[in-house]
Structure 1
Amino acid sequence: MLTERRPIGRHFIARSGKHPNYSAMQEEEAEILALKALSYLAGLDEMMDRFADLSGMGPNDIMERAEDTEMLAGVLDFFLFDEALLTAFCEAHEINPEHPAQARMALPGGDLPHWT
């Protein structure tokens, strides 16, 4: 947990010297957050259908693969590409909006470089 931040220009650097937005999340924590996102998505018929269409899986297939970390990574990708959905999910579960991106980095394929 970050205990002290000191301003440097426009950015805040934690005492550890790492940017606070890039704190590592453990894979188990990431899976739990992704499962919450999947549960939230399952309650939104239209969005679940959209995810199913984009993933090429049926809703039943998605739920059967709920413990597959690659599928959970896809769920988080889906949320990260839809700001309104991401915001609604984070507000509904009182989750810091940065945590889904951190969770995505902890799952398969999340170590890819960010170009933005």
Structure 2
Amino acid sequence: MRDTMVSPASAEVTALRALAWLVTDQDRAMRFLALTGCDSETLRRRAGETEVLGAVLDFLLDDEASLLAFADAVDLPAQSVALARHALPGALRR
């Protein structure tokens, strides 16, 4: 089962890629900010923190259309987002 393990560093890279992708779509970015209660300045300042990165992955995992669009855009299997989320602190079991 080793191939399903994701290191925290790799998970952070996936989450940073997801954040970069997410902010390219204004509607999606605004929905993320509204759901998290975060403003754009705070998001910029805290973008590399695992709590924010986890929230980005949670956002994708809660919205299948966004999850699939992100996975397709960056050529990753959608399952890798869930694996990345589980490698970061604060993950809920899904």
The structure, 1 or 2, with the larger RCO (C-alpha pairs under 8 Å, 6+ apart) is 2
RMSD: 1.5
Please point out which of 78, 81, 86 is paired with 1:97.
Answer: 78
AA at the equivalent of 2:93 = P
TM-score of the superposed pair, with normalisation by structure 1: 0.76
Matched with 2:29 is 48
Q: Quick check: 1:48–1:59 contact (8 Å CA) kept in 2?
A: no
**Structure number with higher strand proportion:** 1
Pick the structure with greater CA Rg: 1
1:113 aligns with 2:86: no
Name structure 1 gaps, 5 residues minimum: 1-17
How many residue pairs get matched? 94
**Structure number with higher helix proportion:** 2
Distance in structure 1 (CA, Å) of the matches to 2:86 and 2:63 = 17
Match of 2:77, SS state, is coil
Distance in structure 2 (CA, Å) of the matches to 1:93 and 1:27 = 19
Q: How far off is 1:19 after superposition?
A: 9.2
Distance in structure 1 (CA, Å) of the matches to 2:48 and 2:15 = 10
TM-score of the superposed pair, with normalisation by structure 2: 0.93
Q: How far off is 1:113 after superposition?
A: 3.4
Matched with 1:57 is 38
Identity %: 38
Matched with 1:88 is 69
